[in-house]
Structure 1
């Protein structure tokens, strides 16, 4: 798309927001509509559904957009809170950058459900610190493998952006990653399955497996 077309699209977005927030009544209706959507998406990502139990504790997750593809990968030890924040935008920049109404799918892998079959050495690493190091390692490995767009850059104090060199990272996740080859293989298998499963044609916009789920926000009305 040309720079001119992008500028026109930005202007149209700006004008539409002006209409939607153009008075006290409109602003309240806009706030209620957006939170209603975010709350429904939060329910899909965390609540029990059909034969699946609710999502809590450590997970890795990702957001895919219809045009840009996989755009963000993250992890948390408190999925029951963080996955709800994801769409609201509180404590998370993703929802403020890309409105959740246009997200194509959200992938959630509950990696602790994969730990029991690990070699002893990996199981010890996975259980240390309530799984914090493990979650960071899996997040790092997924980011290196998939190169999600919004993880690939970071803000600078000058108001600009710079490219992150993930391969040279000395973060806690990067340092732990080499100790978890079996677990990452299992997470990767689940991730690939959830990232390719077709969206439901009828019923709730959610597909669950024993190790996680995938939600389709753009199918919510």
Structure 2
């Protein structure tokens, strides 16, 4: 998109919001509609569905938007709380920049289910460093492999952005990712599979053995 089209789109966005928030009653309607949608997305990301249990505990997750593709990769030790809040945005910055109404898919990997398939030495390493550090290590592995734009730079107090070289990071996750090569590869393979999985007909959720994909944009089309 050239600069002229970009600026026109930005003005259209501003004009639309001004209309949607045109008086107190419209503001309340906007608030209700947005929270209703975000709440539905959070529920689909976490709640039990049929034979599939609720998503709890440690997970990797990522948000894709139409056009931009993968925007953000994260991890949490408390999936039920974090994934419910992800589209609401009360304690996570993502929804401030990329509204959940335009999320194409959210990928969730229940990585502890991959651990029994890893070599014994990596299982021992994972037990020694604990689930939090293990989650950070796998998050780093996926971030380096996929370079999501919202992970690839950080805000500065001067009002601009500073690029992050994820591959050269010396963070806790980066340091320990080297000790979990097989588990990291398994997590990345599961990630790639879910990143391209087709949405099921008549549903906004796809379940797999080790994860879940939610297709928020389809909720708008399905009217759910």
Provide the secondary structure at the position in 1 that maps to 2:117.
coil
The runs of 5 or more residues in structure 1 that have no matched partner are none
CA distance in structure 2 between the partners assigned to 1:121 and 1:209 by the alignment: 27
Aligned residue number for residue 217 of structure 1: 216
CA distance in structure 1 between the partners assigned to 2:206 and 2:128 by the alignment: 30
Provide the secondary structure at the position in 2 that maps to 1:73.
strand
Provide the secondary structure at the position in 2 that maps to 1:50.
coil
* TM-score normalised according to structure 1 size: 0.96
Aligned residue number for residue 65 of structure 2: 65
Aligned residue number for residue 16 of structure 1: 16
Aligned residue number for residue 101 of structure 1: 101
CA distance in structure 1 between the partners assigned to 2:13 and 2:129 by the alignment: 44
CA distance in structure 1 between the partners assigned to 2:125 and 2:88 by the alignment: 32
Contact kept in structure 1, 2:108 and 2:212, CA below 8 Å: yes
CA distance in structure 2 between the partners assigned to 1:117 and 1:141 by the alignment: 18
1:171 and 2:171 aligned: yes
Provide the secondary structure at the position in 2 that maps to 1:13.
helix
Aligned residue number for residue 134 of structure 1: 134
Aligned residue number for residue 148 of structure 2: 148
Deviates more, 1:38-47 or 1:124-133: 124-133
* TM-score normalised according to structure 2 size: 0.95
1:220 is displaced (CA, Å) by 0.6
The runs of 5 or more residues in structure 2 that have no matched partner are none
Taking only aligned residues, the RMSD between alpha carbons, in angstroms, comes to 1.1
Count of residue pairs the alignment pairs up: 220
**1:156-193 deviation line (CA, Å, top 9, x unaligned):** 11010011011211100000001111111211121111
Aligned residue number for residue 190 of structure 2: 190
